[in-house]
Each structure stands twice: as C-alpha cells, then as structure tokens.
Amino acid sequence: MNWREASKLHWQRTGNPKTPTTEQISCGALQRIADAVEKMSGNYGSLIGERDEYKRWYEEGQEVNRRMANRERALRGQITKLKRKLNPENS
C-alpha cells in the first residue's frame, strides 16, 4: 500500500511495524491534495476554453445581426425609391 492510499484510512497506533508513521500519512495526504489541485486546474482550463468558444460564438452572432440590420435598412431604402418612382405625385 502506498502512502497516498494509507492516508485515506483511519489508523490506530499499534505495535505493528507495517503501520505507517504520522509523517508518511501526512505525506500521502499532501500527495492526494496535490492530485486534486492538478485535476481542478485541468477542469479550469477546459472551462476557460468553453468560455472563449461561447464568447466567440456570441460575437459572431452579433456581427451577423449587424449585417442583417444593415441589409434590411438598405432594402427598405430601395423599396422607398421604387415607390417614389411608381408614384411621383405622392412624394
């Protein structure tokens, strides 16, 4: 059994020489903490990647909306010009 696994168990002091020492249990606990921190940092990295991807999608959507609004304004202007051309007395 390695120290990491030994630190998970509840130990009572016995005369057994195979019982890990307090230092070994502490070392195992620190190793488990280090493993957890590494795992959290990996999750954090993936969250940052997802955030950047959603931000990029949002910005692309905003750009598409802006272009569509400009296109709509231009077409409305063309419709107005054509209406004035058909009915010059109403303009």
Whether residue 20 contacts residue 5, with contact meaning beta carbons closer than 8 Å, is answered with no
The whole-angstrom separation of Cα 87 and Cα 77 is: 15
What value, to the nearest 5°, has the Cα angle with vertex 28 and ends 13 and 30?
Answer: 125
Total count of domains within the chain: 1
What is the domain extent for residue 60? 3-90
Q: Among positive and negative, which fits the CA dihedral 40, 10, 18, 26?
A: positive
Q: Is residue 13 predicted with pLDDT exceeding 90?
A: no
Nearest to 65 by CA among 53, 73, 78: 73
Q: pLDDT tens across 28-80, in order?
A: 888 888 888 888 887 888 899 999 999 999 999 999 999 999 999 999 999 99
